[in-house]
C-alpha cells in the first residue's frame, strides 16, 4: 500500500537530500537573499522571491530529484527521461499550490537564522510527495509484470493438462479467475 515502508527508497531519499538538495538549498537561499535584499520593501521582495523560487528553483529541484532517484534505482536513461516531463509538470503544478504559502511564512514570519531549518522541515514532506510520484511508474510496472506472470502460469497449467489429456475444467476455472473474468 501507500504506507508500505521501503528502506531502499528511504536511503535513496536521505542520500539525495543530504548530498545534493540540502547543500543546493543552502546556496540558493543565500543567493536569493543577496539578489533580492531584505532592504527592498516587503511587498516587493516577498512576491519576487516566491516567483523566482517557483519559476527557476522549484522545477530544477524537482527535476534533479527525479533524475537522481532514477540513477540510484539503476534505471536506464530512457526510463529516467521517458516520463520526466509529465512528472515535472505535475509536481510543478503541485508546487505552485503549496510552496507560495510556505514561503509567505518563510519570508515574513521566520527569522533569517531559522529560515533554512523551516524550509528543510517542509522539504521533508515535499520529498515524500516527490518520492511517491517518482515511484508510481515502477509500482505499476511491477504490478503489471506480476499479473502477466500469473496469467502465464495459469495458461501453462491449462496447456499442460490439455497435453496430458487430463480434465481441464478446474484449471480453466482458475485461469478465468486469474484474468478476472
Residue with cell 504559502: 101
> pLDDT over 90 for what percent of the chain?
49
Sign of CA dihedral 133, 115, 68, 84: positive
pLDDT the model gives residue 127? 92
Tally of CB atoms within 10 A around 21: 22
pLDDT band at 169 (very low <50, low <70, confident <90, very high): low
- Give the pLDDT score at 162: 60
* CB 45, CB 88: distance < 8 Å: no
pTM here is 0.71
pLDDT of residue 161: 65
**Average pLDDT of the residues of the chain:** 82
* pLDDT above 80 (res 95): yes
**CA distances (Å), 169 to each of 27, 136, 155, 159, 166, in order?**
68, 38, 13, 12, 9
**Which of 35-44, 100-109, 114-123, 134-143 is predicted least confidently?**
134-143
Name the nearest CA neighbour of 48 among 36, 59, 38, 60. 36
- Asked which of 17-21, 35-39, 102-106 is least confident by mean pLDDT, the reply is 35-39
Amino acid at each position: 500500500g501507500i504506507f508500505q515502508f521501503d528502506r531502499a527508497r528511504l536511503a535513496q531519499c536521505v542520500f539525495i537530500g543530504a548530498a545534493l538538495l540540502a547543500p543546493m538549498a543552502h546556496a540558493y537561499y543565500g543567493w536569493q537573499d543577496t539578489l533580492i535584499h531584505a532592504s527592498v520593501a516587503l511587498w516587493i521582495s516577498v512576491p519576487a522571491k516566491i516567483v523566482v523560487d517557483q519559476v527557476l528553483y522549484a522545477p530544477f529541484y524537482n527535476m534533479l530529484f527525479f533524475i537522481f532517484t532514477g540513477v540510484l534505482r539503476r534505471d536506464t536513461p530512457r526510463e529516467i527521461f521517458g516520463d520526466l516531463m509529465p512528472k515535472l509538470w505535475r509536481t510543478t503544478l503541485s508546487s505552485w499550490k503549496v510552496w507560495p504559502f510556505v514561503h509567505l511564512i518563510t519570508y515574513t514570519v521566520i527569522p533569517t537564522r531559522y529560515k533554512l531549518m523551516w524550509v528543510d522541515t517542509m522539504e521533508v514532506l515535499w520529498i515524500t510527495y516527490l518520492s511517491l510520484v517518482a515511484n508510481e511508474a515502477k509500482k505499476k510496472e511491477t504490478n503489471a509484470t506480476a499479473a502477466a506472470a500469473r496469467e502465464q502460469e495459469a495458461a501453462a497449467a491449462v496447456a499442460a493438462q490439455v497435453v496430458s489429456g487430463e480434465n481441464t475444467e478446474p484449471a480453466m476455472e482458475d485461469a478465468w479467475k486469474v484474468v478476472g473474468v
